[in-house]
């Protein structure tokens, strides 16, 4: 008997962090779950229609970039100089092609620019004005830098400036985020998606405003191949969120694939080891979402919560915020009937 084909599946994250100090109403929780749910359904629809994992993760991350509840695109954090510098990357597990942009200030949808870099530039990573010129030449939507600003992020910067630290995205918001389930002053802020499609291909995408109060010119893990984003059909697709410097130093996403390929670890073992042992050993905080070629999922984090969810084709999406249930961290593959 031939083994059952895994169901196509998409998983997303919207950053990790500590629980809010505020009392959170059920309406506030509902708003976050509803946003994650709607984005998962959109990605699920792409996969159900025979779309590629690459298309599904691109669409999901664009929707996350546009959603002001999460830190990427509109609502991105501020640098120390009160500017925005955005990073994004996509990777195709079938071919191991990758595309990324970093330190861009005027591209409305950085993840779309990352895909254009992958498909049309002959390069992997373009930064700053060169990346913006490339995006404009290829007809991508450009915006004034103020498009990304919100009052909440500006106040987050003020608080970070007074402590003179670079803080993870959701470690520094304010007003509109005061009642978010994950404390905006202690939250990491990046969005991402991973998917397995009906043809068995994997893909990953990540987009971020980086860390509040970061030094201009700083690039985090998100647009660095193998650090914050990686995809390889032979092992897994991964998108990370957290203290980018530590994810870069541990080559976190690639380490999971290497453990699977060289040490025969399962996705869950490899992802848990990296998030619960390798990263904390050097002070790394955050989490990641991962899917393997058999459709198993792993969504570990070493903070109190991580906005996350997944949806298999034909099944209701599942969304979660806190670390309450083990079955929202490691999830076995579903089989197509
Ligand atoms: N990893 C991102 C960065 O370092 C930040 C985050 O996930 O919050 O740029």
Q: Tokens representing 27?
A: 């309406």
Query: Which atom of ligand 1 lies closest to the CA of 219?
Result: 9
**Is pLDDT above 70 for 165?**
no
Strand 97-104 relative to strand 125-127, pairing:
parallel
CB-based burial, 122-154: b 16+ in 10 Å, e otherwise: eebbbbeeebbebbeeeebeeeeeeebbbebbe
Contact 8, 335 (CB under 8 A): no
Q: How far is the CA of 265 from the centre of ligand 1 (A)?
A: 26
Q: How far is the CA of 115 from the centre of ligand 1 (A)?
A: 20
Map residue 249 onto helix, strand or coil: helix
Our mutation pick for probing the ligand 1 site, out of 78, 214, 220, 223, counting the most ligand atoms within 8 A of Cβ, is 220
Beta partners for residue 99, in sequence order? 90
What percent of the chain is predicted at pLDDT more than 90? 66
Contact 318, 327 (CB under 8 A): no
Distance of CA 202 to the CA centre of its chain: 15
Q: How far is the CA of 260 from the centre of ligand 1 (A)?
A: 24
Burial of 119 (0-12, 13-18, 19+ CB in 10 A): middle
Query: Which atom of ligand 1 lies closest to the CA of 244?
Result: 4
Strand 9-19 relative to strand 305-312, pairing:
antiparallel
Q: Which residue has the higher pLDDT, 303 or 41?
A: 41
Q: What is the reported pTM?
A: 0.90
Map residue 40 onto helix, strand or coil: helix
Q: Which protein residues are within 6 Å of ligand 1, measured from CB?
A: 15, 168-169, 188-190, 208, 210-211, 220-222, 228, 241-242, 244, 286
Q: Tokens representing 1?
A: 């008997």
Map residue 8 onto helix, strand or coil: coil
State which H helix or E strand residue 118 sits in.
Answer: helix 110-120
Contact 142, 130 (CB under 8 A): no
Shortest-distance Cα residue to atom 5 of ligand 1: 210
Please calculate the CA angle 49-232-46 and round it to the nearest 5 degrees. 15
Q: How far is the CA of 6 from the centre of ligand 1 (A)?
A: 31
Q: Tell me what pLDDT residue 187 has.
A: 60
Task: Compute the distance between CA of residue 38 and CA of residue 29 in angstroms, rounded to an integer.
Answer: 14
Could you read off the pLDDT of 270-284 as tens digits, one per residue?
999 999 999 999 999
**Is pLDDT above 80 for 171?**
no
What is 96-117 written as a DSSP string?
TEEEEEEEESSBS-HHHHHHHH
- Residue 77 Rama label (left phi>0; alpha psi -120 to 50; beta): beta
Could you read off the pLDDT of 78-113 as tens digits, one per residue?
888 888 899 999 999 999 999 999 999 999 999 999
Q: Which residue has the higher pLDDT, 16 or 274?
A: 274
Beta partners for residue 242, in sequence order? 286
Report DSSP state, residue 264: -
Could you read off the pLDDT of 125-164 as tens digits, one per residue?
999 999 999 999 999 999 988 888 777 777 777 777 776 5
Tell me which residue has tokens 């990073």.
87
Beta partners for residue 290, in sequence order? 238, 298
**Is pLDDT above 60 for 179?**
no
Shortest-distance Cα residue to atom 4 of ligand 1: 244
Task: Compute the distance between CA of residue 157 and CA of residue 182 in angstroms, rounded to an integer.
Answer: 18
Query: Which atom of ligand 1 lies closest to the CA of 169?
Result: 8
Could you read off the pLDDT of 295-316 as tens digits, one per residue?
999 999 999 889 999 999 999 9
Q: How far is the CA of 4 from the centre of ligand 1 (A)?
A: 37
Task: Compute the distance between CA of residue 206 and CA of residue 337 in angstroms, rounded to an integer.
Answer: 31
**Is pLDDT above 70 for 322?**
yes
Q: What are the two backbone dihedrals, phi and then psi, of residue 13, each rounded to the nearest 5 degrees?
A: -135, 160
Query: Which atom of ligand 1 lies closest to the CA of 247?
Result: 1
Q: Tell me what pLDDT residue 315 has.
A: 96
Catalytic residues: 190
Contact 77, 189 (CB under 8 A): yes
Q: Using alpha carbons, list the distances in angstroms from residue 210 to 27, 42, 87.
A: 28, 25, 7
Distance of CA 282 to the CA centre of its chain: 21
Mean model confidence pLDDT for the chain:
88
């Amino acid at each position: 008997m031939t083994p059952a084909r895994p169901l196509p599946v998409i998983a997303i994250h919207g950053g990790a962090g500590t629980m809010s100090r505020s009392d959170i109403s059920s309406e506030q929780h509902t708003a976050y779950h509803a946003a994650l749910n709607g984005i998962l359904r959109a990605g699920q629809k792409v996969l159900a229609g025979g779309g590629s994992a690459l298309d599904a993760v691109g669409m999901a991350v664009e929707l996350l970039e546009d959603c002001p509840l999460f830190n990427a695109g509109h609502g991105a954090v501020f640098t120390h100089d009160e500017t925005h510098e955005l990073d994004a990357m996509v990777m195709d597990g079938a071919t191991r092609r990758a595309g990324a942009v970093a330190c861009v200030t005027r591209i409305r949808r950085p993840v779309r620019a990352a895909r254009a870099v992958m498909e049309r530039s002959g390069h992997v990573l373009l930064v700053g004005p060169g990346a913006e010129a490339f995006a404009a030449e290829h007809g991508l939507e450009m915006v004034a830098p103020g498009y990304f600003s919100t009052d909440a992020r500006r106040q987050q910067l003020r608080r970070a400036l007074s402590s003179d630290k670079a803080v993870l995205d959701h470690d520094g918001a304010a007003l509109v985020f005061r009642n978010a389930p994950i404390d905006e002053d202690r939250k990491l802020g990046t969005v991402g998606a991973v998917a397995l499609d009906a043809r068995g291909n994997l893909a990953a995408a990540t987009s971020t405003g980086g860390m509040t109060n970061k030094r201009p010119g700083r690039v985090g893990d998100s647009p660095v191949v193998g650090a914050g984003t990686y995809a390889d059909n032979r092992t897994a697709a991964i998108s990370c969120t957290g203290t980018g410097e530590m994810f870069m130093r541990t080559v976190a996403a690639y380490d999971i694939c290497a453990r699977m390929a060289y040490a025969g670890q399962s996705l869950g073992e490899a992802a848990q080891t990296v998030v619960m042992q390798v990263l904390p050993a050097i002070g790394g905080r955050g989490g990641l979402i991962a899917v393997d070629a058999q459709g198993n999922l792993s969504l570990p984090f070493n903070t109190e919560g991580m906005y996350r969810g997944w949806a298999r084709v034909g099944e209701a999406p599942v969304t979660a915020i806190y670390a309450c249930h083990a079955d929202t961290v490691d999830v076995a593959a579903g089989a197509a009937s």
